Amino acid sequence: MLALNFGLGALETEFWRWLFLMTRIGAALFAAPFFGASGVPPQARVIVTGAIGILVCNWTGVQAPAALFSLPGMLAVAGEVLVGLALGFVLQLSFAAPTIAAEVIGAGMGMSIAAAADPQTGAQSPALGQYYGVILTLVFLGLGGHLLFIDLIIKSYASFPPGHTWLGPDRLALIAGFATQMFITAVAIALPVTLILLLVQFAAGVVSRSAPSLNLFSLGLPAGVLAGLAALIVSAPLTGDMMADLSAQALRQAEGVLLQ
C-alpha cells in the first residue's frame, strides 16, 4: 500500500482527513446549481469547499482511509465523488424545470429566437429561462435553501459513511424517477401562460378565416407576444410561490436519496 508521510504526525493525519472530506463536498457543490455555475470562479469553489470541510471535520468523526493512495483508498474516494455528484445532480434536475417551461412558453409566444448565455452552464438558453432562473435562485437563497443543502451533505456522512458510498439500483432508479417529476413541474409552470396563448392563437385563426385579407403572421405573432407578456405579468404574484414550492421539492428529493 502507498501512503504519503511527511513526518508531521497528527497534523498530517488531520490534513489528509480534511482533504478526503472535501471530496464529497466539492463534488456536490460542483454538480449543484448556483454553486457549480460556470460564472463562479474555481478558487471560490475551493475556498467554500475547504471551509465546509473544516466544519465537517469538527462536527463529525469521519476518518479517511488508512492508505488513501492505495486501491481501497481510491475506491473510497470514487464513492465519495459518486455520492456528492448524486446529491448535486438531483438538485440540478429540479432547477432545470423552469428552463423547460420557458422553452414551451417561448415557442408559443414566438420568442424562441430570443436567447442569452446561461450563467449556470454557459450555453444558450431562452430569455424567459433567464427570467425564471433568476427568480428561482433568489427564492432559493432567500429561503436558506443553500444552507439546507449543505446540511444534507453533512447528514449524508451518516447515511453513506466512507466505504459504503456506492449507490444501489434502488437509489439510481429513484434519481432517474426525479427526471419525470422535473417534466411534470415544467408543465405546471408553463400551463397557465400556454393556455392563454392557445386561446389567442385560436382567436387569430378564426379571425384570419373570417377575413382572409388579413395576414395571419402579421396578426398572430404580435398578438401572441402581447398576450404572453400580459399572462406573465398577471401570473407574476404566483411565480414566487411556485419557485418556493420548487425549492422545497428539490431539497425533499435530495433528502430522499439519503433516506431511501
pLDDT in tens, 160-180: 887 776 777 777 777 777 888
Q: Which residues pair with 126 in a beta bridge?
A: 115
Residue 110 Rama label (left phi>0; alpha psi -120 to 50; beta): left
Please answer whether residues 142 and 164 qualify as being in contact, where contact means their C-beta atoms are separated by less than 8 angstroms: no
Domain-located, residue 162: yes
Q: Give the lowest-confidence range in 28-37, 70-79, 146-155, 208-217.
A: 208-217
Structural domain includes residue 228: yes
Other CB atoms within a 10 A radius of the CB of residue 114 amount to: 12
Q: What would the pLDDT profile of 1-36 be if each residue is shown by its tens digit?
A: 344 555 555 677 778 888 888 888 888 888 888 777
Phi, psi of 116 (to 5 degrees): -145, 165
- Residue 51, in any domain of the structure: no
191, pLDDT greater than 50:
yes
- The answer to the question of residue 220 being in a domain is yes
Which structural domain range is residue 219 located in?
81-259
Cell of 174: 429513484
Which pTM was predicted? 0.76
Does residue 168 lie within any of the structural domains?
A: yes
- Tell me the average pLDDT across 180-188: 83
- Sign of torsion, CA 146 151 153 156? negative
Decide if 136 is inside a domain.
yes
Per the CB < 8 A criterion, the answer to whether 187 and 92 are in contact is no
Contact partners, residue 221, CB within 8 Å, separation at least 6? 110
Q: Is residue 35 part of a domain?
A: no
Q: Is residue 68 part of a domain?
A: no
Query: Cell 436519496 appears where?
Result: 257
- When divided into structural domains, the chain yields a total of 1
**Contact yes or no for 140/244 (Cβ under 8 A):** no
